[in-house]
C-alpha cells in the first residue's frame, strides 16, 4: 500500500480483516497503521514483495508516474494494482507493456492520467480517441470505474454536509475548519 492517510487506513482495516499482511510506504508513518500490524517498508520492498499494490496518496512532482517501467520490473508476475488516487501516479503506457508481459495480472483504475475528456460526460455515442485508454480498455483484466469510488450515499452526504457547514460558517464570519492554508 502506498499512502496511509484516512483512506489508506480504512483499506488497511479491510485487508487485515481478510487476514492479509500489509506492507506500507508513506513518508509520514501513521501510528494507527502500525497498531493494525501494518509494516512500513521501502517502496522497492512494496514492489518486489506485494501481491496487491494499492495507491492512496496525493500526487506530487516527486511521485508522478511512481508506477513506471522501473517499478513494474521489480514486481512479481501477476501483481494486482488498484489506483483510486490520482491518474498521474501510473504511467499508463508502461502499464500496457507490463500487462502484455504478464507482470500486471489485473489493474483496477478509478482514475486515469488523461481522464478529463473521458470521465465527466457521456461518451457512449462518441469514438474514444485516446489510444492508450482504448488499449487499456481492451484488456480483459483492466477495470475502469471512472471516479465512481466516491459515489456512495455516505460519501455524497458527507460532501453535502461539509459544503453546507462551510458555507454557513463563512456567512456567519466563522472558521469552518476546512480552510486551505499555505504550508509553513
| Residue 66's CATH number | 3.40.50.720
Range of the domain at 174: 152-184
Claim to verify: residue 168 and residue 140 sit in the same structural domain: no
Q: Which residues contact 113 (CB under 8 A, 6 or more apart)?
A: 87, 88, 90, 92
Residue where the block lists cell 466563522: 174
Claim to verify: residue 72 and residue 101 sit in the same structural domain: yes
Question: What are the average pLDDT values for consecutive 10-residue runs of the chain, which has 184 residues?
Answer: 93 93 96 96 97 93 93 97 90 94 92 61 62 78 70 68 82 80 60
Claim to verify: residue 92 and residue 166 sit in the same structural domain: no
Distances (CA, A) of 80 to 23, 49, 55, 60: 14, 12, 11, 23
Q: For the chain, what is the domain count?
A: 2
Q: How far apart are the first and last CA of the chain?
A: 28
Claim to verify: residue 160 and residue 88 sit in the same structural domain: no
Residues annotated as catalytic are 86, 115, 147
Claim to verify: residue 94 and residue 169 sit in the same structural domain: no
The model carries a pTM of 0.75
Amino acid at each position: 500500500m502506498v499512502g496511509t492517510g484516512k483512506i489508506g487506513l480504512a483499506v488497511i482495516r479491510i485487508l487485515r480483516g481478510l487476514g492479509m499482511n500489509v506492507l506500507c510506504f508513506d513518508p509520514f508513518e501513521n501510528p494507527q497503521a502500525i497498531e493494525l500490524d501494518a509494516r512500513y517498508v521501502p517502496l522497492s520492498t512494496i514492489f518486489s514483495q506485494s501481491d496487491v499494490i494499492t495507491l492512496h496518496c496525493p500526487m506530487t512532482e516527486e511521485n508522478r508516474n511512481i508506477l513506471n517501467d522501473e517499478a513494474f520490473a521489480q514486481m512479481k508476475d501477476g501483481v494486482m494494482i488498484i489506483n483510486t488516487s490520482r491518474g498521474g501516479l501510473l504511467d499508463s503506457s508502461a502499464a500496457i507493456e507490463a500487462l502484455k508481459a504478464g507482470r500486471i495480472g489485473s489493474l483496477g483504475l478509478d482514475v486515469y492520467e488523461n481522464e478529463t475528456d473521458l470521465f465527466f460526460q457521456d461518451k457512449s455515442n462518441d469514438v474514444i480517441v485516446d489510444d492508450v485508454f482504448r488499449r487499456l480498455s481492451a484488456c480483459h483484466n483492466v477495470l475502469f470505474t471512472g471516479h465512481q469510488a466516491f459515489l456512495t450515499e455516505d460519501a455524497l452526504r458527507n460532501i453535502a454536509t461539509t459544503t453546507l457547514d462551510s458555507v454557513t460558517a463563512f456567512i456567519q464570519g466563522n472558521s469552518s475548519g476546512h480552510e486551505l492554508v499555505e504550508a509553513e
